[in-house]
Amino acid sequence: MADYDIEKIDDFRWRLPKTGGMRVPAILYATEDMLPDILSDDAPQQAKNVAHLPGIVKASLAMPDIHWGYGFPIGGVAAFDPDDGVISPGGVGYDINCGVRLMASKLTVDDLDRRSRERLVDHLFRRVPTGVGSSGAMRVDDAELQRVLQRGAEWAVNDGKGSQADLDVIEEHGRVGGADPDAVSGRARERGLDQIGTLGSGNHFLEVGYVSEILDERAARVMGLNKGTVTAIIHSGSRGFGYQVCDDALSDMDKAMKKYGIELPDRQLACTPIPSPEGQKYLAGMRCAINYAFANRQVMAHNTRLAFEDALDLSPREHGLFTVYEVAHNIAKFEKHTVNGSKQEVCVHRKGATRALPAGHPLVPGRYQKVGQPVLIPGDMGRYSYVLVGTDRAMEETFGSTCHGAGRQMSRRKARKTAGHRNITAELANEGIVVRGQSDRTVREEIPEAYKDVTDVVKAVEGAGISKAVAQLRPLGVIKG
């Protein structure tokens, strides 16, 4: 374990002070019980490395689901001055705009017996392609793809896959401006033609579950979440398209850093000044990938509704599946925040972190104005997930950010080794959870014990006051890549 010079701020905050070339300190959000596991990883060192980047303001932040990532830690948040700061693809990640949508229905857990759960999960597995390089939900030509890249979820809704009610409750309404298809390579566009509406692999999933516990009656009621309500969670991103955009930009920036005199402790932090040609090209391409991911989840949400109708022989009115909210995890955006006592625009990188805006914030959808923006925190496929809301404290401390999930505590290799010859699908079936995976390997890599207990993560962010729990959800069925 690395020997970190760590200072306790309070029961939920820890400081890694400025040393060497760090321009700001790193602040870690966690309970004391979580620290040994977190410090046994290289992720805290990555949080310190981020603090070296030019133009970073306030601090390099790490949420309690922190674990090792490419360059930036997953669970990392950092904001940069738009004139003197940098943009770093590693601060967004390869899966640009990986994110989560929560849907809720009129059904209750008592409406889904064992056979109907199995039928529903089987239909979802057919409707939503999974696995590495998966395709087949739909295919677009290059001209149509350009419209996807510029219009995001709005493109899917205009194609009959959803409604304005969906767009109203997606972060950024499912579309960011400034996306320029000419900024992405031909290889990226080629990879994007046939992957819209697909889940992908790794930790991506589509889960049917139910509300098992209400923790904030008022906020839950506003979100349409009652105890027993059947829900669906979609976790996926920008697939091969976003991966290629990131890969292309990392190559460009690695070559350009010397030109700008940027020296860093880790080449994976490759970056260029935000106003530079390389920085502007990445921003334009990244925004295309953001919109691609928004469209991807919108198409999957549409096909999830169709799966409910086919599997359960219900009309749209009878299942009533509506979008509660959708948040982005891997994204960089220009936002206004208070820095050193005054409001200024900064470029916030969230890498495995969630936007968490408080009640009354102008970017919170109208129906959530009095309770705050929903924050969706998936756990693992065997235990539970949480719904929270953003707080004023998050705006003051973390650029309106909080955690994004349970966070891995085992590598995929270690998870496979731990799973050994166990039949994970049968184990979960005994718990009443139906699992369908593209491969047994993926299911083994995603065993529940590969992740931290998400309750611990939620306790840490609640204790720090940067978000507030609303409801707990438990799984009934999951499809995995």
Q: Residues annotated in the binding site for Mn(2+), as ranges?
A: 95, 204, 235, 329
Residue 474 neighbours by CB under 8 Å, 6+ apart? 209, 210, 212, 383, 384, 385
Among residues 393, 413, 399, 373, which one has the least CA distance to residue 461?
393
Q: Which two tokens stand for residue 74?
A: 């997953």
Which residue reads 């932040």 in tokens?
61
Q: Which two tokens stand for residue 274?
A: 């935000």
Residue 417: exposed, middle, or buried by beta-carbon count in 10 A (0-12, 13-18, 19+)? exposed
Contact yes or no for 382/446 (Cβ under 8 A) = no
In order of 118, 208, 251, the CA distances from 473 in angstroms are 19, 10, 41
Which residue ranges make up the annotated binding site? 95, 203-207, 235, 329-330, 378-381, 385, 404-407, 480
Query: How far apart are the C-alpha atoms of 325 and 332, rounded to whole Å?
Result: 19
Q: Which of 349, 361, 404, 421 is catalytic?
A: 404
In order of 133, 185, 270, the CA distances from 247 in angstroms are 16, 10, 11
Helix H or strand E segment including 436: strand 434-437
Query: How far apart are the C-alpha atoms of 281 and 151, rounded to whole Å?
Result: 18
Is residue 404 part of the annotated active site? The answer reads yes
Partners of 100 in beta bridges: 235, 327
- Chain centroid offset of residue 42 CA: 21
Query: How many angstroms separate the first and last alpha carbons of the chain?
Result: 33
Where are any strands of DSSP class E within 352-442?
354-355, 374-377, 385-390, 401-402, 434-437
In degrees and rounded to multiples of 5, residue 230 shows phi and psi of -80, 135
- C-alpha torsion sign, points 19, 21, 25, 30: negative
Which residue ranges make up the annotated binding site for GMP? 203-207, 329-330, 378-381, 385, 404-407, 480
DSSP assignment of 74-138? EEEEEEE-TTT-EE-GGGT-SSTT-EEEEEEEEEEGGG--HHHHHHHHHHHHHHS-BSTT---S-
Residues recognised as catalytic: 404
